[in-house]
Amino acid sequence: MNENKGLRLWKLAVVLLVLCNIALILTIWVKPNLRGARPETPRDFVIRSLKFSDDQVKKYDALISVHSNMMDSLRKESMTYRQQLFSNLKNADNPGINPDSLAQLIANDQKQIERGTYDHFAQVRTICTNEQKAEFDKIIMDVIRKMMPGRPKGKNGDGPQPPNDRPGPPENE
């Protein structure tokens, strides 16, 4: 009698494990994001949201290529200035380079990055139809948030709201 009880317990455990495995397999199959599916890129988001035609996608891809090359160049230059700035800490007693001038060079690169991004999206807007322009104006801040890794995502429940969506300097708190 005691053996039957132990056997029944083992059978129950095996059945529960089989059911858990089935549930896990179904979860992975139904929810592809758990398998590491690629999240939607800002490019894909714009194309989908604005319903770009094939011709518009080609123009958009060309604009992206030019913009990406410019951004890569500015980021590399800025990183070089940062390396110079912080390697100068070793020589704090005998500074060879003025930290303020390097900080200004980094700031100038950042200014060009921001202006280049603005100009890029102004060009993207020109390839839109009038209906697409209205939608573009609605989604542009979502696109910008998607482009900024590690930053808050926004209004749609996919992260906290950024502190300030308005242009201009932030107000003192």
Residue closest to 76 by CA, chosen among 118, 42, 105: 105
3-state SS of the chain is CHHHHHHHHHHHHHHHHHHHHHHHHHHHHHCHHHHCCCCCCHHHHHHHHHCCCHHHHHHHHHHHHHHHHHHHHHHHHHHHHHHHHHHHHHHCCCCCCCHHHHHHHHHHHHHHHHHHHHHHHHHHHHCCCHHHHHHHHHHHHHHHHHHCCCCCCCCCCCCCCCCCCCCCCCCCC
Residue 35 DSSP one-character state: G
Q: Give the largest Cα separation in the chain, rounded.
A: 89
Q: How many independent structural domains does the chain possess?
A: 2
For residues 59 and 93, state if they share a domain. Answer: yes
Residue span of the structural domain in which 18 resides: 2-35
pLDDT in tens, 31-58: 655 555 677 889 999 999 999 999 999 9
For residues 67 and 110, state if they share a domain. Answer: yes
**Lowest-pLDDT range, 68-72, 75-79, 140-144, 165-169?**
165-169
pTM of the predicted model as reported, rounded to 2 decimal places? 0.63
For residues 53 and 135, state if they share a domain. Answer: yes
- In this prediction, residue 92 carries a pLDDT of 65
Which band of pLDDT confidence, cut at 50, 70 and 90, is reported for residue 154? Answer: very low
Residue 151 pLDDT > 70, yes or no? no
pLDDT in tens, 115-126: 999 999 999 999
CATH assignment of the domain containing 90? 1.20.120.1490
The answer to the question of residue 153 being in a domain is no
For residues 90 and 30, state if they share a domain. Answer: no
For residues 66 and 119, state if they share a domain. Answer: yes
On average, the pLDDT of the chain sits at 81
For residues 59 and 119, state if they share a domain. Answer: yes
pLDDT in tens, 75-106: 999 999 999 888 877 776 666 678 888 899 99
- In this prediction, residue 1 carries a pLDDT of 57
The answer to the question of residue 173 being in a domain is no
Residue with the larger pLDDT of the pair 161 and 50: 50
For residues 23 and 85, state if they share a domain. Answer: no
Q: Distance between CA 129 and CA 109 in Å, rounded? A: 33
For residues 97 and 22, state if they share a domain. Answer: no
